[in-house]
Amino acid sequence: MPRAPALSPSWDRLFEAAVGQDGQFTTKQAADAGYYPQLLLKYLKNGRITRVRRGVYRIVHFPAGEHEDLATLWLWSEKKGVFSHETALMLHDLSDALPRKVHLTLPASWAKRRLRVPKGVLVHHDDVLRNELVDVGAVPVTNVRRTLIDCAGAHVSPEILEVAIKQAQARGLINKPDVKAIRARGSAA
């Protein structure tokens, strides 16, 4: 059976993949742009790219993104993860929450997978609906309502949760029925 012709490398295709990911790309995205492992190695050696973690690279001269570390974790999750809980509170600038770990929600179907979770990451398994997502910079994050419901269910400090609810209400991000649902989740969990 004849082999498909090799895709010729295109820096433009690789750059295009990296633009929405804070200058980062995966090995698969590189292959889709025609960059086979040996060529990636050459670019690593000559300093055009750098390895961020296994299977994730960064274009060296790309401007640093505000949440570059989160983009790396999102790519690690095969772009299926959603930043949630206290990490989402921080990204939405609600309360003064400074989580010690990055909260990442992966699809419920991933619960049985054996993953080597990166250090400093707390994984949750649940299905996040499309209408519960927003993009903050280059990464997907649970929307404010879902974030507060998740935090209530996870028993985040009541003081932090109340400040976040008040700030979200003051900014018009949630309404009274949302507050009722958040508080109900906190008392049910």
Q: What DSSP state is assigned to residue 10?
A: -
Which residues, in sequence order, are CB contacts of 150 under 8 Å at separation 6+?
Answer: 84, 85, 88, 105, 124, 142
* Tens digits of pLDDT across the chain (189 residues): 444 445 788 889 999 999 989 999 999 999 999 999 999 999 999 999 999 999 999 999 998 888 899 999 999 999 999 999 999 999 999 988 788 999 999 999 999 999 899 999 999 999 999 999 999 988 999 999 999 999 999 999 999 999 999 999 999 999 999 999 999 887 766
Question: What pLDDT, on the 0 to 100 scale, is given for residue 95?
Answer: 83
- Polymer length of the chain: 189
**Domain extent listing, the chain:** 11-59, 69-188
Question: What pLDDT, on the 0 to 100 scale, is given for residue 189?
Answer: 60
Cα distance between residue 110 and residue 79, in whole Å:
13
Torsion of CA 9, 139, 50, 62, to 10 degrees: 80
SS3 25: strand
